[in-house]
Amino acid sequence: MIEALEPLVDGGRFAAKAVAGEPLSVRADVFAHGDDLVRAFVRHRRAGTRRWTVAPMAPIGNDRFEAAVVLPEPGHHQIEVLGEVDALAMWRRDATRRAAAGGFDPNDPVIGSRLLAEADELVDGRLGTLADELGRVDGTGPLAAVLAALDELDEVIASRPPATTATPASSELPVLAERPLAAFSSWYECFPRSASSVAGQHGTLADLANRLDYVAELGFDVLYLPPIHPIGTTARKGRGNSPVAGPDDVGSPWAIGSRAGGHTAVAPELGTLADFDELVDEAASCGIEIALDIAFQCSPDHPWVRKHPEWFAHRPDGTIACAENPPKRYEDIYPLDFTTSDREGLYAALLDVVLFWVRRGVRVFRVDNPHTKPFDLWEWLIASVRKVDPGVVFLSEAFTRPKVMHRLAKLGFDQSYTYFAWRDHKDEIVAYFEELAHGPGRTYFRPNVWPNTPDILAKSLQHGGRASFVARLVLAACLSANYGIYGPVFELLVDEPAAPGSEEYADSEKYEIRQLDVGDPRSIRDVVRRVNAARRAHPALQRDGSLRFHRVDNDRLVCWSKRDERTGDAVLCVVNLDPEWPQSGFVELDLGALGLDWDAAYEVRDELDDAAYTWTGPRNFVLLDPARSNAHVLALAPAARSPEPSATFPPSGRGR
């Protein structure tokens, strides 16, 4: 019997996610009736190939087995679990018991010799001598000696491949192996049209290229651009989303399409396709990938409106319906009609858009509102793109119902936006990230956590000033392996809403050019740089599965850790959620989760300011003052000296 396979998503309907070149834990319950002993194996191959790689699984208790599988390259893979009754192990067990009790069954050496001879054919002759010796056994002494000799060959015996009659599990484990960027990435979003160094001048892709060093120095590896395509003029929105645009208003980049082209064109104000190609190349030289926005919608001026009117929904009066989210109306945008009679032609055109940019070197896409398009579109489109390049990464921007978000992740989206912007209180943060890291979606749903976006100036950022921005930065970047910020408004602490109670930015960059001085002394760019440097330096922060929260006797302090099992690297974070007042308390650490003994002395070094202290045992004091520093990102290491009492309660009151 083979049951409870992991990772298995919806009975194998969808693929679990793994990282190419990294171990993937495969588990299953494998058992037989009575007291029969069993062996379990896992085998895997790239989808579409014939050759399997096979490895034994190790028992971990209660009839459960586990093995670490390394899938060597990105793409879809097949994994199977096999089981078989282990006749050789049962013979050893029973013969050993009889020999220990002083009995002798003359059938034991006969059966053992046959089983060892069969096993010998599978392990290149390393058991043949013992098989011959068993054939000559006629008393308890020699049999006991052979059984003892077998103990020395346990590894050889365990290395036997499964028999051709081994039972496969009824369910296959489909797995999508992805390149490391899908599991660990730091995103920086900015509008190219705001990148000019000349006040009031429309920025270009060349201007943005001059910002690459700044983005790289901050430590980001993905530079995400809102749509760079021509913007329509019909029903163009003015500043502040005004329905009437002035002659100098630049419109919303999401109103895609004009006489200059559609989804495969660059807005003339930004430059040319050649300029874009140069930007991609220069970014790569800085260790940065360019991510493009995929927004499948059109302005009234998009070439598709004229060439394919059947791709759009029409009202009874014959006019094309604009986008709506009542009471909001988006007169500058026509949504596509996915019930069109030319569904095949529409789907093919959308795939061509993505492949056009893939062929120009783009391997990362942020997809706008995928939950408003059919599920089957994404399953087909993403699979089709991966046939061309299995390393393309898709981020789903679907702020919608949980089940819809999870379905999109199952369909192939590598990363997903989250509800983080609306999780403010400690209990909300703990519950939500426990769910993300350890809940049923952990095998396929990869969170990408953003404290702000052009659409979301979260309440948590509107009133707390610098302390709130630092707190939300550390929470996002250290709770999740994938995160991003919308800058430079984030590092420059822009926090003015369009109106009281609104999450829209005043003077929103979605509708106007907004040039900000990245050299402003109020910027928290140095904190951003240090946080990203910590993420790169510590493998513990590069995955989510080891996340553990630790108890603190103050609800305004949240404490968590991550630990990389392969390297032993561990990081402990503490954040003060109160942007106004100092908060202190005792943290109660789960030292086992940190790889430390219960009474160990260990050093903690803060990656944000390089301060180092010595702690002992699980209970330690922390004080965080927003006026100085309201977050710790603590790298752990065994202490080189005995702890000093002053290390916990320094006279300065500095947060530990």
Q: List, for residues 428-451, the tens digit of each pLDDT value.
A: 999 999 999 999 999 999 999 999
For 305, phi and psi rounded to 5 degrees? Answer: -60, -40
d(CA 313, CA 318): 9
460-469 pLDDT per residue, tens = 999 999 999 9
Domain that holds residue 280: 180-295+339-539
pLDDT at 45: 96
pLDDT confidence band for 210 (50 / 70 / 90): very high
Where among 130, 155, 178 does a domain terminate? 178
Q: Domain check: are 142 and 112 in the same one?
A: yes
pLDDT at 139: 63
| Average pLDDT, integer, range 375-400 | 97
Angle at which helix 140-151 crosses helix 107-120, to 10 degrees, equals: 30
- Indicate the pTM of the whole model: 0.92
The verdict on residue 310 lying in a domain is: no
d(CA 265, CA 259): 10
Q: Domain check: are 32 and 142 in the same one?
A: yes
Residue 196 near residue 207 (C-beta atoms within 8 A):
yes
Identify the active-site residue in 289, 368, 606, 607: 368
Q: Domain check: are 357 and 501 in the same one?
A: yes
pLDDT surpasses 80 at 641: no
The verdict on residue 325 lying in a domain is: no
The verdict on residue 334 lying in a domain is: no
Domain of 517, CATH number, reads 3.20.20.80
Q: Which of 73-77, 323-327, 336-340, 625-629 has the lowest mean pLDDT?
A: 323-327
The verdict on residue 318 lying in a domain is: no
| Average pLDDT, integer, range 116-144 | 76
Taking Cα atoms as reference points, which of 362, 347, 359, 222 lies closest to residue 296? 347
d(CA 350, CA 187): 25
* 539 burial level (CB within 10 Å; 0-12, 13-18, 19+): buried
Residue 203 near residue 193 (C-beta atoms within 8 A):
yes
| Average pLDDT, integer, range 188-203 | 96
pLDDT confidence band for 633 (50 / 70 / 90): very high
pLDDT at 140: 59
What's CA 316's distance to the chain center, in Å? 45
Mode of pairing for the β-strands spanning 58-61 and 38-46: unpaired
The verdict on residue 362 lying in a domain is: yes
397 in active site? yes
DSSP-derived secondary structure letter, 243: S
pLDDT at 406: 98
pLDDT at 639: 56
Residue 243 near residue 237 (C-beta atoms within 8 A):
yes
Residue 417 near residue 451 (C-beta atoms within 8 A):
no
Q: Which two tokens mark 569?
A: 């690297």
Q: Domain check: are 347 and 457 in the same one?
A: yes
Where among 539, 555, 580 does a domain terminate? 539
Q: Domain check: are 165 and 249 in the same one?
A: no
d(CA 362, CA 356): 9
Q: Domain check: are 104 and 227 in the same one?
A: no
pLDDT at 337: 97
pLDDT at 637: 83
Mode of pairing for the β-strands spanning 447-449 and 452-453: unpaired
d(CA 321, CA 407): 28
Q: Domain check: are 132 and 206 in the same one?
A: no
| Average pLDDT, integer, range 118-141 | 75
Q: Domain check: are 215 and 168 in the same one?
A: no
The verdict on residue 189 lying in a domain is: yes
d(CA 108, CA 127): 17
One-letter-per-residue 3-state SS of 204-219: CHHHHHCCHHHHHHHC
pLDDT confidence band for 638 (50 / 70 / 90): low
pLDDT surpasses 70 at 80: yes
458-493 pLDDT per residue, tens = 999 999 999 999 999 999 999 999 999 999 999 999
pLDDT at 656: 35
* 224 burial level (CB within 10 Å; 0-12, 13-18, 19+): buried
| Average pLDDT, integer, range 36-43 | 95
18-37 pLDDT per residue, tens = 999 999 999 999 999 999 99
pLDDT surpasses 70 at 572: yes
| Average pLDDT, integer, range 220-245 | 96
Q: Which two tokens mark 602?
A: 């260990």
Cα–Cα distances (Å) from 75 to 21, 49, 441, in that order, read: 12, 12, 20
pLDDT at 650: 34
pLDDT surpasses 70 at 13: yes
pLDDT surpasses 90 at 122: no
Q: Domain check: are 575 and 621 in the same one?
A: yes
pLDDT at 167: 87
d(CA 463, CA 239): 24
Cα–Cα distances (Å) from 224 to 208, 232, 271, 360, 480, in that order, read: 12, 22, 17, 16, 18
Residue 611 near residue 654 (C-beta atoms within 8 A):
yes
pLDDT at 643: 40
Taking Cα atoms as reference points, which of 317, 298, 316 lies closest to residue 308? 298
318-337 pLDDT per residue, tens = 999 999 888 878 899 999 99
Cα–Cα distances (Å) from 152 to 126, 156, 394, in that order, read: 12, 9, 51
Going 332 to 302 to 187 to 511, the CA torsion angle's sign is: negative
d(CA 322, CA 622): 55
Cα–Cα distances (Å) from 290 to 205, 369, 378, in that order, read: 12, 20, 21
The verdict on residue 312 lying in a domain is: no
Buried b (16+ CB within 10 A) or exposed e, 585-613: bbbebebebbbbeeebbbbbebbbeebeb
DSSP-derived secondary structure letter, 256: B
Residue 324: enclosing H or E segment and its boundaries? Answer: strand 323-325
Domain of 13, CATH number, reads 2.60.40.10
> What is the average pLDDT value for the chain, to the nearest integer?
93
pLDDT confidence band for 646 (50 / 70 / 90): very low
* 365 burial level (CB within 10 Å; 0-12, 13-18, 19+): buried
Identify the active-site residue in 133, 397, 544, 607: 397
Beta-bridge partner residues of 19: 178
Residue 18 near residue 24 (C-beta atoms within 8 A):
yes
Q: Domain check: are 150 and 96 in the same one?
A: yes
Q: Domain check: are 562 and 532 in the same one?
A: no
Where among 539, 561, 583 does a domain terminate? 539
Radius of gyration of the chain (CA): 30
The verdict on residue 333 lying in a domain is: no
* 331 burial level (CB within 10 Å; 0-12, 13-18, 19+): middle
Q: Domain check: are 481 and 392 in the same one?
A: yes
* Number of compact structural domains in the chain: 3
